[in-house]
Structure 1
Amino acid sequence: MPRHAIFAMPFAKVYPLYVQKAERKGRSKAEVDQVICWLTGYDPARLQQQIDLKVDFDTFFNEAPALHPNRAMIQGVVCGVRVELVEDPLMQNIRYLDKLVDELARGKAMAKILRQ
């Protein structure tokens, strides 16, 4: 099966787009970082290191310290695809991240976004 092009895309290329999307809706970069750290287990310093190293999405998720066990609670549609039905684990993690940023931009409470 062919690999998706996004797997090789640098996370650092998409990260500013996540921040811009959130900021346009009155949310902050710190909140975007909090969501990413919750999902991946990175601390803020290590997240910044991954951005600075321009690692691709594949590496970003494979090196994630601890993917959050509650990420399976993330449900909904991103780009016309239900995230809970995505079969490829890496693509599903990318879609989870997209969904979390979408929820943040839509003004959802942080406690709900972080499935607490």
Structure 2
Amino acid sequence: MAKHRIYTTSFASVYPHYIAKAEKKGRTKAEVDQVISWLTGYGPKEFEAQLARKTDFETFFADAPKMNPSRALIKGVVCGVRVEDIEEPTMREIRYLDKLIDELARGKAMDKILREN
């Protein structure tokens, strides 16, 4: 079976869409960056380097410094699919990020998004 095209899509090409979605709902680029950092463990410099390299999604998640163990607490539906039911690990990570950005855009409190409570 062929890989989904999102795997070879540059993270940098989708990142502005994450920001736009959040900003349209009154959230900030800094909050988007905080969510990405929480999920992947990328610091600001490492993250900027990934964007500059135009790293694809598969590599972006494979190279992540420390995927947050609390990401398993992310539940719900993204694109009609329950994230907790996705078996392919990379696709699950991508959908976790999609779900976090959706929650941010919906106005959910940051501590709830970052699964601190």
* Fold conserved between structures, TM > 0.5: yes
Structure 1 residue matching 2:67: 3-state secondary structure: coil
Q: Give identity over the alignment, percent.
A: 64
Equivalent residues, number: 116
**Offset of 1:2 from its aligned partner?**
1.7
- Which residue matches 1:68? 68
Q: How does 1:34-73 map to 2 (within 5 A)?
A: 34-73=34-73
Structure 2 residue matching 1:38: 3-state secondary structure: helix
TM-score under structure 2 length normalisation: 0.98
Structure 2 unaligned spans of 5+: none
- Which residue matches 1:4? 4
How many Å separate the matches in 2 of 1:41 and 1:50?
A: 13
How many Å separate the matches in 1 of 2:113 and 2:96?
A: 11
- Greater Cα offset, 59-68 or 43-52: 43-52
Structure 1 unaligned spans of 5+: none
- Greater Cα offset, 42-51 or 86-95: 42-51
**Offset of 1:70 from its aligned partner?**
0.4
Structure 1 residue matching 2:30: 3-state secondary structure: helix
How much is the aligned-residue C-alpha RMSD, in angstroms? 0.5
How many Å separate the matches in 2 of 1:105 and 1:44?
A: 22
- Which residue matches 1:106? 106
